[in-house]
Chains A and B, each alone.
Chain A
Amino acid sequence: MLPYLLSLPALLVCIAILVPFVTAAVYSLQRYRLNLPYLRGFIGVDNYIDFLSDPAFWNTLRISLVYTASTVVLELLLGLGIALLLRRPTRFHNAVSIVLLLPLMTAPAIAALMWKLMTNPGFGILSYLIGLFGVHDFKWASDPSTALFTVVLVDVWVYTPFIMILLLAGLRSLPRQPFEAAALDGVPTSFVFFRITLPMLAPYIITASLFRLLDSIQQFDIIYAMTQGGPGDRLMVFQVQAYLEFFQYTNVGRSAALLMILWLITNILSNIFIKNWLRLRARAHGHA
């Protein structure tokens, strides 16, 4: 009895999650517009089918995937590189790794505002600095051709420390013997990195990328604070699009369907990753 009593609050939170979730699933099968309540009704999977012929949906899917792929790959490479630089646990390295946590602890929406100030075409320090290198008329987030680059840059600034801190913990927890043996045998550094370090680090890399992948494909704060999905529909990722469908176009059914698709994608991605994670962890621990 006691354990059930103690977990009651947690159960309530679960219900507070699950009820809206089921509601969203139901909405996604309805024609439901807040401004036209009398039209509300069950329409099966029509909302979903409509997406197939809707270029806006394909744009959303494409932008979301490109955004996710670029942020995860960049953050992974950069995070791994920094973790390797800070690998030896000296006081200086520890201090650097703590300082690098600060961007991660900045609210992403606020981080977007910081970068907005720095990339202001009129006085922004970054605009000025690239001007010194002869790049003028670089409009950052307000130009369709560079908007994606700008928000990816902010995402990289905020979230690279996340990958770095996880991989650093992983690197420092690796057993020393394989590396000492390799050093004694004079094995080349590149071989050690690709054949010892990376495989042993693989479970950490998978975990870190999964966390980032799932957060990144759902990114809202940075993009909304920076451009609200613009310029035009240039940064209409899933959650921004769903937000606008709901509040601007008051089309609840469509918004819910969009989010259900996003939820499905995150589920598929996490399943793939968890399977690989288990396999790689087993290998890293020496079971075939």
Chain B
Amino acid sequence: MDHSSLAGRIFRGVALALVLVFFMFPIVWILLMSFQTNEQILRIPPHILFEPTLANYEALISGQLRTAAGNLEISFMRNLMNSFVLSSAAVLLALLLGVPAAYAFARFKFRLGESIAFTLLSFRFAPPLLVLLPLSLYYQELGLNDTYFGIVWVYQLIALPLILWIVRGYFEDISPDIEHAYRLAGHTWREAFTRIAVPLAGPGIAAAGLLSFIFCWNNFVFALILASADKQPVTVGALAFVTASGIQYGQIAAAIVLSVTPTLLLALYAQRYLVEGLSLGAVKG
């Protein structure tokens, strides 16, 4: 068990260092690139020490990209805003719809509930395009294509199952006696739900909400298929931006940094819930 021998400890230290370098280097390197001018980036050999510039971020935020060919309008900030709007709206809707349903699944054993939970879980593993491609045709008929509402609705396919499965577990951990005690004191089930069950499942609801936000934010294929440029989130927008800006590598790096920062911060903040959320509770086995 305990590799207390010197060789063992050196081996473990070196191995850990290599692991850290492999997984952290890309993030650190892109971060450094985002503060460099194109000339600094293109220098060979690359310099670790350089004079940082905020020009890339300024260009992105102002939406004006100066290239050799002249000024280029870029809508990257709009993509970033779209990501915020779409992910937040999707998570709010999913919480509104999913928390009561999770409560029903946890408190009442009924066949429809089991079927819904099973269907959602099994389609968590189905190819997304299998649902998305026919859905895009339906959307065209319904006029939902390229609308915020349409995208928020498909994001429910990501957020709702996650919220249902995580929050249900938290509700199941609350002793039903606690709610009964509240009801016997003259409160309706709705009051017991809002004043007892929801506050007690609060950490789980918050974690499920944060995770759903991360997964909605990180989603790529849904918006790629259903949204046009002015509704696209950063994941799709960044790809378009790479194509459009060509060789403005500093700006690309800055765009990447801006795209991943919100989720990485949230992930660090909610890290202790991630395991459970990532495995949909499978770890509890």
Contacts and interface: CB of A to CB of B under 8 A. Distances in A.
Q: Do A and B come from one complex?
A: yes
B120 A183 contact: no
A212 B134 CA distance: 26
Nearest to B3: A189
A255 B285 CA distance: 36
Given A13-B120, A14-B120, A110-B238, A7 B26 contact: no
Interface string B234-255: 1110110010000001001100
Contacts of B23: 99-100, 102-103, 157, 160-161
Interface in B1-36: 1-2, 12, 15-16, 19-20, 22-24, 26-27, 29-30, 33
Contacts of B234: 107, 110
Interface residues of B, number: 91
B282 interface: yes
Given A105-B218, A106-B264, A117-B33, A4 B110 contact: yes
B133 A214 contact: no
B54 interface: no
Interface in A177-206: 179, 183, 189, 192, 203-204
A70 interface: no
A17 interface: yes
B275 A10 contact: no
Interface in B103-147: 103-105, 107-108, 110, 112-113, 116, 119-120, 123, 125-135, 137-138
Interface string A194-231: 00000000011001100100100010110011000000
Interface string B243-285: 0000001001100100110011011100100110011001101
A23 B112 contact: no
B128 A220 contact: yes
Contacts of A165: 274-275, 278
Contacts of A134: none
Given A110-B238, A263-B127, A7 B217 contact: no
A118 interface: yes
A226 B112 CA distance: 42
B256 A110 contact: yes
Residue of A106, A160, A207 with most partner-chain B CB within 10 A: A106
A51 to B, nearest CB: 16
Contacts of A288: none
A6 interface: yes
Contacts of A262: 127, 130
Interface in A78-137: 81-82, 85-86, 96, 98-111, 113-118, 120, 122-123, 125, 128
Contacts of B12: 85
A9 to B, nearest CB: 3
B153 interface: yes
A102 B264 contact: yes
A259 B125 contact: no
Nearest to A183: B1
Given A10-B97, A106-B263, A107-B263, A85 B271 contact: no
29 contacts: A6-B103, A9-B98, A10-B164, A11-B112, A13-B160, A16-B154, A19-B138, A21-B126, A23-B138, A98-B271, A99-B23, A102-B23, A105-B267, A106-B218, A106-B260, A107-B217, A107-B220, A109-B235, A110-B238, A110-B256, A113-B239, A114-B256, A123-B43, A128-B45, A166-B275, A214-B125, A218-B127, A239-B129, A243-B129
